[in-house]
Amino acid sequence: MGVIRRLPEPDLHAGSSRKQFSLLFILGVLSVVAVLLGLSKIMMERDVNDDLTWVFVAGFGLLAVVFTVNMLMAVWAMLSPGPVVLRSALIFGIAAVLGLGIGAASLAPSVAEGAEGVLVVVVLIQMVVASVFATMIVMLSLWFLRSFGYRLVKPEQV
């Protein structure tokens, strides 16, 4: 017959001899690798000495940085202690302005060539909607985490 006995609790703060990676770390590494592979594909398909290629790569890099900063601000807005409504409205407003800015920057060559006004308006609306929609997805998932009690706190408070 078996005996029930209490086993000692493992020390969770003790260092492990093997490397452990979180899911967030792996997603971050995969995202960076995907961006680098996309940029290398662009560079292989285009003439590297062409100025338009470097403008495209710089715009793509700017877009990645802008969306990353916006998502980090969304994490701050949803998981900081205190009321969420005003911070969320601020983040959605910033997302709309960033989408408008990226849309305007991407349309600059087309407008210089005489693009139609309807095309310009449609592209601007698409960029604003894409930026706000991406932010909304992140905010909803963070709202779910917040409902379980997750908050951003300083390490000394843990």
**Where are the domains positioned within the chain?**
50-151
- Predicted confidence band of residue 45 (pLDDT cuts 50, 70, 90): confident
- Predicted confidence band of residue 129 (pLDDT cuts 50, 70, 90): very high
Please state the rounded mean pLDDT for residues 15-35: 74
Indicate whether 89 pLDDT > 90: yes
- Predicted confidence band of residue 22 (pLDDT cuts 50, 70, 90): confident
Report d(CA 21, CA 17) in Å as an integer.
Answer: 13
Please state the rounded mean pLDDT for residues 48-57: 68
Q: Which of 42-46, 47-51, 98-102, 143-147 has the lowest mean pLDDT?
A: 47-51
DSSP, collapsed to helix, strand or coil, labels residue 114 as coil
For residue 110, what pLDDT is reported?
67
- Give, as one character, the DSSP assignment of residue 47: -
Higher pLDDT, residue 78 or 67: 78
For residue 96, what pLDDT is reported?
92
Closest CA to 43 of 32, 31, 55, 30: 55
Indicate whether 16 pLDDT > 80: no
Indicate whether 93 pLDDT > 90: yes
Tokens of 29: 């590494």
